[in-house]
Structure 1
Amino acid sequence: MTKLLITRPLPEKVVKAAQAAFDVTVRLETTPITEAERASALADYDAILPTLGDVFPAEAFEVAARARILANFGVGFNHINADAARAAGIEVTNTPGAVTDATADIAMTLMLMTCRRAGEGERMVRAGKWPGWHPTQLLGLHVSGKTLGIIGMGRIGKAIAKRARFGFGMKVVFYNRSTVDMPKDEATQLDSLEAVMKAADVAVIAVPATPQTHHLIDAAALEALGADSYLVNIARGDIVDEAALIEALQQGRIAGAGLDVYEFEPKVPEALIAMENVTLLPHLGTSAQEVREGMGMMAIDNLIAFFNGKPVPNPV
């Protein structure tokens, strides 16, 4: 029977579905696999179901492997060198559709928490430092009717645009490397990243992590965003130059930031933790039971199709 390694504990529904089709080993640790574990997995299993942080660099595929497929749990796969895997005859898949709405919801959560200073207010109440209501306390940005700039108009970007436009009456502009056909009443594509950043009251990062998007949001992009505007990142941490972001926040060159991801995750810089105008979440983008089940079932569907000799539904 086909041997499958699942690198982290997954929802029970997903594990049972995997066990119905494969000889399954579930690694019980919740931390990323080590280099030694990775080598053993490639040598000892027919299939691996890895996830965020389980790094498979090019050199991992330089040795002959038993594994024939990496069915990634998650839409982002920047931790896997997919080109090197395919060159070694190993298929790579992901789980794109299942995460769209949940991730878009977290983008709106971060926007509201940061612009309306909700995190700061909650900390005040918990610390017993709230003196009571008064007219100028914790004044933030009223997002309704403002301009949202979306960097990356894929599935998640479109879901964010829909929520912002029809839920909050925001004007939506976006930057995307290729032309995206969007209804005019929903969003307008601008010619450059700089143009979107300059136009935005809030900029949301929704591009995949690739070598081309590494540090896409650098000091120049943050300068274009400006002192009255906010940055939200629900994509991958290394799309933003974290050092440049910290400097921009400390110098007041942007108004605040809402982050669900970090450049050196799970490490979060003390400088970010210390700032009240920064909302910090622990990578909650897809943290809903039904969403994680959906991701897992999509990964299992990819595996079943592959070993039945059919095209995988979600190749990367």
Structure 2
Amino acid sequence: MTQPDILMTAPMQPAVIAALEARFTMHRLWEAPDPAAFLREIGPSIRGMATSTLYGRVDAELIGALRQLEIIASFGVGYDQIDVAVAAERGVVVTNTPGVLDEEVADLAVGLLLATVRQIPAAERYLRAGRWLQGNFPLSPTLRGRKIGIVGLGAIGKAIARRLAAFDVAIAYHGRTKQPDMPYPWHPTLIGLAQACDVLIVMVPGGAATRHLIDRPVLQALGRDGILINVARGSVVDEDALIEALRNGTILTAGLDVYNDEPRVPQALIDTDHVVLLPHLGSASAHTRAAMGQLVVDNLESWFATGQPLTPVAETAHLVPEA
């Protein structure tokens, strides 16, 4: 039986590449010296795609070059790098990798919050520089008595809330709708949540609908004792407004794992010593990345074996035939 042809846009883990090469005829776009010529040559035969944010945008031009494309399997929960509207219009199913990374990202979010509140990275730098010999590290802010607002109470947001409950802090959330059976107060507006809390943890998808959701008015509402934690997408935060808020003391500090133009981080953030900056580590453990890669493989394999992907995104779920 002829193996379906699939395109991998950027390198994934060796185990993922090996698994896909065993099941499909795989073409590596990142190795092509002339990608446009390569796509003209192999494009008519491609039925599936494995992609990730390492590649960049899967846009209308790329989708249009693959006339037989049936499925795009994306590595990661966020899929704002894919033009899903064009895919849906073309009848192309898009899948992502939810569930398998929820706990890892939630762990990182809580760790980033603690590191930011207690200034753990700055304290370590202080010790390594030999400054403890001259005196104690300055007293830090505290998590005690704080009110935590979660922006986006999806699966990861709920996992964060479960962890924070053990710290005996007040928790509230903002989302499009109030969720039944949730024990936390719901705020119908983001401004209202920011006014009621002194920590905001951002956990919403990227894309046009959430671009600069955290803007100057939200930061002003968060206030001078406020802390912003972003483990979602860099585009969700207006970085210029955040830098201004940090400089002016509009908010206290921030902990960031994501940025608007990764891996380029604004020098103004790097130069702000009390801000905690991580290089997009949310799901970056060997265990979780292996599970994410396996789900990419499983989605492609299931689609071509049964016509049923495992985790289609909402915008293309209607394209999946009933089992």
Fold shared by both chains (TM-score > 0.5): yes
The percent of aligned pairs where both chains have the same amino acid is: 37
How far, CA to CA, are the matches of 2:263 and 2:132 in structure 1? 31
Partner residue, 2:306: 309
- Provide closer, same or farther for how the CA distance between residues 46 and 62 of structure 1 changes in structure 2, counting only shifts above 3 A: closer
For residues 236-271 of structure 1, the C-alpha deviation after alignment (integer angstroms, 9 at most, x for no partner) is: 000000000000001110000100000111110000
Match of 1:191, SS state, is coil
TM-score (norm 2): 0.88
How far, CA to CA, are the matches of 1:100 and 1:112 in structure 2? 19
Show the 5 A alignment for 1:156-171: 156-166=156-166, 168-171=167-170
Show the 5 A alignment for 1:1-316: 1-25=3-27, 36=36, 39=39, 42-43=43-44, 45-53=46-54, 54-63=56-65, 65-131=67-133, 134=136, 137-166=137-166, 168-184=167-183, 187-316=184-313
In the TM superposition, what is the alpha-carbon distance from 1:231 to its structure 2 partner?
Answer: 0.1
Tell me the amino acid that sits aligned with residue 286 of structure 1.
S
In the TM superposition, what is the alpha-carbon distance from 1:131 to its structure 2 partner?
Answer: 3.0
Tell me the amino acid that sits aligned with residue 139 of structure 2.
L
- Aligned partners of 2:216 and 2:241 also within 8 Å: yes
- Provide closer, same or farther for how the CA distance between residues 61 and 310 of structure 1 changes in structure 2, counting only shifts above 3 A: closer
Unaligned segments of structure 1, at least 5 residues: none
How far, CA to CA, are the matches of 1:161 and 1:297 in structure 2? 27
- Aligned partners of 1:200 and 1:225 also within 8 Å: yes
Tell me the amino acid that sits aligned with residue 95 of structure 2.
T
TM-score (norm 1): 0.90
Match of 2:126, SS state, is helix
For residues 75-116 of structure 1, the C-alpha deviation after alignment (integer angstroms, 9 at most, x for no partner) is: 000010111012123221100111101111111111011110
- Provide closer, same or farther for how the CA distance between residues 126 and 44 of structure 1 changes in structure 2, counting only shifts above 3 A: farther
- Aligned partners of 2:46 and 2:66 also within 8 Å: no
Kindly indicate which of the two structures has a greater share of residues assigned to helix: 2
- Provide closer, same or farther for how the CA distance between residues 55 and 120 of structure 1 changes in structure 2, counting only shifts above 3 A: same
- Aligned partners of 1:150 and 1:172 also within 8 Å: yes
Match of 1:306, SS state, is helix
How far, CA to CA, are the matches of 2:35 and 2:170 in structure 1? 47
- Aligned partners of 2:63 and 2:69 also within 8 Å: no
- Provide closer, same or farther for how the CA distance between residues 37 and 160 of structure 1 changes in structure 2, counting only shifts above 3 A: farther
- Provide closer, same or farther for how the CA distance between residues 147 and 42 of structure 1 changes in structure 2, counting only shifts above 3 A: farther
In the TM superposition, what is the alpha-carbon distance from 1:35 to its structure 2 partner?
Answer: 7.0
- Provide closer, same or farther for how the CA distance between residues 58 and 4 of structure 1 changes in structure 2, counting only shifts above 3 A: closer
- Aligned partners of 1:182 and 1:188 also within 8 Å: no
How far, CA to CA, are the matches of 1:35 and 1:170 in structure 2? 52
In the TM superposition, what is the alpha-carbon distance from 1:42 to its structure 2 partner?
Answer: 4.9
RMSD of aligned alpha carbons: 2.3
Q: How many residues align?
A: 308
How far, CA to CA, are the matches of 2:215 and 2:50 in structure 1? 33
In the TM superposition, what is the alpha-carbon distance from 1:68 to its structure 2 partner?
Answer: 2.1
For residues 173-200 of structure 1, the C-alpha deviation after alignment (integer angstroms, 9 at most, x for no partner) is: 000012212442xx22122111211122
The 10-residue stretch of structure 1 (104-113 or 120-129) with the greater mean CA deviation from structure 2: 120-129
Tell me the amino acid that sits aligned with residue 271 of structure 2.
A
How far, CA to CA, are the matches of 1:234 and 1:44 in structure 2? 38
- Provide closer, same or farther for how the CA distance between residues 37 and 286 of structure 1 changes in structure 2, counting only shifts above 3 A: farther
Match of 2:255, SS state, is strand
Match of 2:201, SS state, is strand
In the TM superposition, what is the alpha-carbon distance from 1:2 to its structure 2 partner?
Answer: 1.4
How far, CA to CA, are the matches of 2:292 and 2:209 in structure 1? 26
- Provide closer, same or farther for how the CA distance between residues 84 and 99 of structure 1 changes in structure 2, counting only shifts above 3 A: same
Match of 1:141, SS state, is coil
